[in-house]
Amino acid sequence: MADQKSDKVVLGMSTTAAVAAVMAWIAASKKVGAAPGDGTIPSEVVELIVAIALSADHVDQNTLDIINAVNELSLGSGRGWPENAIGIRSLRVQIVPTGTQLPDVLIPDGMALVIKAWPLNPGWLQVGESLSASGSLNQSWPLIPNEIVWYNVKNANQIYVGANAAGCFANLTVEQKGGGG
């Protein structure tokens, strides 16, 4: 019952505001020096006022429908972010200077693979999408020791890592929805 009253109030306010705006426009556009008694409103303006008044009910109802639809939306858990992970998977991979394909590690939806250059690496790593890219400074992402980068990929084996020196390692970690492994 209260919603119907508020709908009527909103409708009345919208219609009143539209009529007031048109009347203000009419007052502002009056020509100076008009002959007395020539205060008729053009038919186009009258039609505009009638159209606004008739459509205001539909506009307000459509607006309320949109607001109600937005309020009913749900994104997965309803929180707007993925569910918490149950576990993690972490490993260290030795990187050869000519490039290494990362091992087969599945990345659950909503999770990211984190790659960290081992803090004691004697050089930097180069992360790329292929073996050749991981060996090219122009096609890879450099990682100095102790630096991280993360990727939202389906599997770690989509990524290749090269190094500019022997004895380099990359640490990998990813949250797991099913309990690590």
pLDDT (tens, 9 = 90+) of the chain, 181 residues, equals 555 555 554 555 566 666 667 667 666 665 555 555 555 677 777 777 777 766 666 666 767 777 777 666 655 455 555 677 788 899 999 999 999 999 999 998 888 999 999 999 999 999 999 999 999 989 999 999 999 999 999 999 999 999 999 999 999 999 887 544 4
Q: Residue ranges of the domains in the chain?
A: 2-29+40-72, 87-176
Return the H-helix or E-strand segment holding 72: helix 43-72
Helices (H) and strands (E) in the chain, counts: 3, 8
- Global pTM reads 0.54
Quote the DSSP letter at residue 135. T
Contact 178, 125 (CB under 8 A): no
Q: What is the CATH number of domain 87-176?
A: 2.60.120.770
Quote the DSSP letter at residue 17. H
Nearest Cα to Cα of residue 89 among 155, 134, 169: 155
Q: How many CB atoms lie within 10 A of CB 140?
A: 21
Counting Cα atoms < 13 Å in the Cβ hemisphere of 112 gives: 8
Contact 180, 85 (CB under 8 A): no
